Amino acid sequence: MPSKTLMINSNSAHKSAAQPRSRASHVVQPQSGPQSPEVFAASADGLAGRDLCSIADLSVQETASILELAHAVKANPTEYNHALDSKQMVMFFEKASLRTRLTFEAAINTLGGNAIFVDQTQSPLGERESLADMSRNLERWMNIIVLRTYSHETIVEMAQCADVPVINALSDYEHPCQALADFMTLEEKFGTARGLKFCYVGDGNNVCHSLILTAAQLGAHCTIATPKGYAPKLDIVAQAIEIAESTGGSITLMHDPAKAVEGASAVYTDVCVSMGFEHESTKREPIFRPYQVNEKLMSLAAPDAVFMHCLPARRNAEVTDAVLDGPQSIVFDQAENRMHLQKALLLMLLDGAGKSPMERKFSRAASAPKSGKRAEVTALS
């Protein structure tokens, strides 16, 4: 297969491409290790009341803070059991869902809040009532709105109209919650994403878009291998270039999956026919067949490489059973971490994070039973 490679880690002509809507005004080096209470508090204050339509809505520091909080929530869940007491979350889903719906519901419920689900699979949002009118109603009853839609513009318009936070739980343009949970999982496996060689093989779709932006924010080296005509959108690539220049990361686009996977620490794929593109199934399947992640392709990655997939997977299509169920697969760790990451996101957007993870760690240490002679005497008495 001929290989065409585009290395993007410095100034590029793609910078002239249109930029996605973003509230992140500047880019800084990603935080290494636990954040100070002051740095975490600055991120928490900045995120309170905000929307998450795109990864580009976040600054580098805000992304790091969300991930640090997600790890803390996972490690010490009971400390946050009542952080969002009485908060109301409504979810409008135009697409079917397993992981996204259940992890959001479990997240808010275990934080003390309540989830209300509205099935929009038979009636697209904005059809019965304008999005502006819906927003003005919802903001009077709800504390946060979660949308899973076909059109990204639906999410953007709702966010512009509503005075409460709006979260993109998947659109045709991005899947930010998925990407954040994926890189949380990589941090668990490798300690940090900074300098990590991350490879995505397959369709340059919504998941791919969010992964590129998140990789850039965390200083990872991201390689994308897609068939010709299926590369990620240039506005996403342009945004990732700008971020990667400041974080030490890089973005590489190519068409050769074997070359892309070579030496990678993480190999990621997704279905080649996303929801909404089912009519292209017959056309796409032969085009994407050479991009299947199988044992031969995984053998080119680093010895400690992991395999990733956002699920649901089409077994023996984009990935073989041997890889999906094999020892390198961390797909169910990714799925689990959706809940923990979304807990952190809800806490941040609803101003419920409270003390920083570092402060909480110090508090736990201070309240822990003291060891030494007094403890020994107590044990013997």
Per-residue pLDDT 10s for the chain (381 aa) are 444 345 444 333 332 333 333 334 333 444 456 889 999 999 999 999 999 999 999 999 999 999 999 999 999 999 999 999 999 999 999 999 999 999 999 999 999 999 999 999 999 999 999 999 999 999 999 999 999 999 999 999 999 999 999 999 999 999 999 999 999 999 999 999 999 999 999 999 999 999 999 999 999 999 999 999 999 999 999 999 999 999 999 999 999 999 999 999 999 999 997 666 677 788 899 999 999 999 999 999 999 999 999 999 999 999 999 999 999 999 999 999 999 999 999 999 999 999 999 999 999 988 888 765 554 444 444
CA nearest to 275, candidates 135, 171, 131, 129: 171
- The CATH fold assigned to 190-334 is Rossmann fold (3.40.50)
Report the C-alpha gap between 142 and 145 in whole angstroms: 7
Write down the pLDDT at residue 373: 52
Report the C-alpha gap between 313 and 379 in whole angstroms: 54
First to last CA, the chain: 76
For 148, the enclosing helix (H) or strand (E) is strand 144-148
Write down the pLDDT at residue 282: 85
CATH 3.40.50.1370 boundaries in the chain: 42-174+336-355, 190-334
For 6, the enclosing helix (H) or strand (E) is strand 5-8
Report the C-alpha gap between 165 and 159 in whole angstroms: 7
Yes or no: domain 42-174+336-355 corresponds to CATH 3.30.1490.20: no
Q: How much is the pTM?
A: 0.89
Report the C-alpha gap between 272 and 86 in whole angstroms: 41
DSSP letter for each residue of 74-125: HH-GGGGTTTTTT-EEEEEESS--SHHHHHHHHHHHHTT-EEEEEE-TTS-T
Amino acid at 330: I
Which sequence positions are flagged as catalytic?
Answer: 148, 175, 178, 270, 310, 338
Residues 6+ apart with CB under 8 A from 61: 28, 30, 31, 39, 42, 43
CA angle 166, 169, 173 (to 5 degrees): 100
Helix (H/G/I), strand (E/B), else coil: 56:
helix
Inter-helix orientation angle 357-367/37-47, to 10°: 130
Structure token digits, residue 268: 């990621």
Structure token digits, residue 175: 């899947």
Structure token digits, residue 338: 């959706």
